[in-house]
Amino acid sequence: MMELPRKVLVGQGVIGDLGIFVKDLGPVSRVLIVTGPHVKQKVGRKVEESLSSSGLTATWFVAENSTKEVAEQIAKKANSEIVSYIIGLGGGKSVDLSKLAAFYSGIPFVSVPTSASHDGMSSPFASIKGLDKPYSFVARPPAGILADVDVIADAPRRLILSGCGDLVAKITAVKDWELARDDKGEYYGRYAASLALLGAEMFIENASRWKDCTADDVREIVEALISGGVAAGIAGSSRPCSGSEHLVSHALDLIAPNKGLHGEKCGIGTILMSKLHGLDWEKIVIALKSIGSPSTAGELGIDAPTLAKAIVMAPSIRPERYTILSKVKLTEKDALELIRSAEVA
């Protein structure tokens, strides 16, 4: 089963076309916009003008927190107001909340990312606090994605750099997927794997140029992140986007909360898991360094023993997901050795 977005619009200044974009998706009169207070202040007026000039009525849900309970509230509001679409306007949190609310309410959602710190803008997976699993859970992919490059380029630079960590993660995610195919006979989709890898390869090739974050660079990064989510939609699983490096990142979320962004942790995880897979991990370090994204634990404010604990814990986060860490079974001492040998600490 492939579930994919129907329409994707990436470009400069396209936020002003949101009304037309949503109308083109299908019959619609009312929409519910989910956003955070800062984003509403920044682009709220433009969004409202665009929707009203297309004859659409919009109500707002300004979310302070992203928890399961908030997603349930949004779903309830969307159902009682009989909206045609839930629009997730913002960084990862607003988009994830909308995705989950869309899943609960059965109402389709539109993803309007205002930053690009990971591939959640297009993927069918949502990660929210309060769910019973620390990793993403399967929801629905967006019906449409509208990404305004100018708005995303205007967000703090650290966010888009973190997005690059989520891109490079595809190298080890796909390698782990191959391993699961070979060792466990798991379904493996060559097309979805190649599509996900393409984004990682683009990053490795262009990191030194992308560091400038020009509008063209941001567009390429956003397109690559969207393709990663689409690859997951094609695979019908997060396999092409998320492997052992993501498990390490999720373990760090639990052991060292609020240290580093998702993509930054995934970048570090990718260095380590590449080394473990016997891949060319140094090219990943060079690319992360040249774009100015963390390549050491210290840059995330994490020490080597904490990272080693996370590596040992990682396979238990999601025991059914077979990766190099399920195969190799590292002790804390092995993990420390790996961290040192990959020059992560």
Measured between alpha carbons, how far is residue 203 from residues 98, 144, 197, 221, 243 in Å?
28, 25, 10, 8, 18
Pairing of strands 137-138, 125-126: antiparallel
84 or 136, CB closer to Zn ion? 136
* Size of the chain, expressed as the number of residues it contains: 345
19 or 113, CB closer to Zn ion? 113
Q: Which of residues 148, 166, 217, 245 is near Zn ion by CB under 5 A?
A: 166
- Residue closest to Zn ion (Cβ): 166
| DSSP 3-state of 154 | helix
CA distance 139 to 88: 14
User: Would you count residue 148 as binding Zn ion (CB under 5 A)?
Assistant: no
* Count of positions on this chain that bind Zn ion (CB under 5 A): 2
41 Cβ neighbours under 8 A, 6+ residues apart: none
User: Would you count residue 253 as binding Zn ion (CB under 5 A)?
Assistant: no
166 or 253, CB closer to Zn ion? 166
User: Would you count residue 321 as binding Zn ion (CB under 5 A)?
Assistant: no
At 59, phi and psi to the nearest 5?
-115, 155
Among 36-44, 143-151, 160-168, 187-195, the segment contacting Zn ion (CB under 5 A): 160-168
Q: Using alpha carbons only, what angle is made at residue 328 by residues 172 and 163, rounded to the nearest 5 degrees?
A: 20
Are 69 and 129 in contact, with CB atoms under 8 Å apart?
no
User: Would you count residue 239 as binding Zn ion (CB under 5 A)?
Assistant: no
Within 105-144, which residues bind Zn ion (CB under 5 A)? 118
User: Would you count residue 245 as binding Zn ion (CB under 5 A)?
Assistant: no
Residue 166 Cβ vs Zn ion, minimum distance, rounded to whole Å: 4
Are 250 and 317 in contact, with CB atoms under 8 Å apart?
yes
Residue 337 Cβ vs Zn ion, minimum distance, rounded to whole Å: 26
118 or 175, CB closer to Zn ion? 118
Residue 7 Cβ vs Zn ion, minimum distance, rounded to whole Å: 23
Within 255-294, which residues bind Zn ion (CB under 5 A)? none
Strands (E), 63-126: 85-90, 109-113, 125-126
Residue 107 Cβ vs Zn ion, minimum distance, rounded to whole Å: 25
Interface positions with Zn ion (CB under 5 A): 118, 166
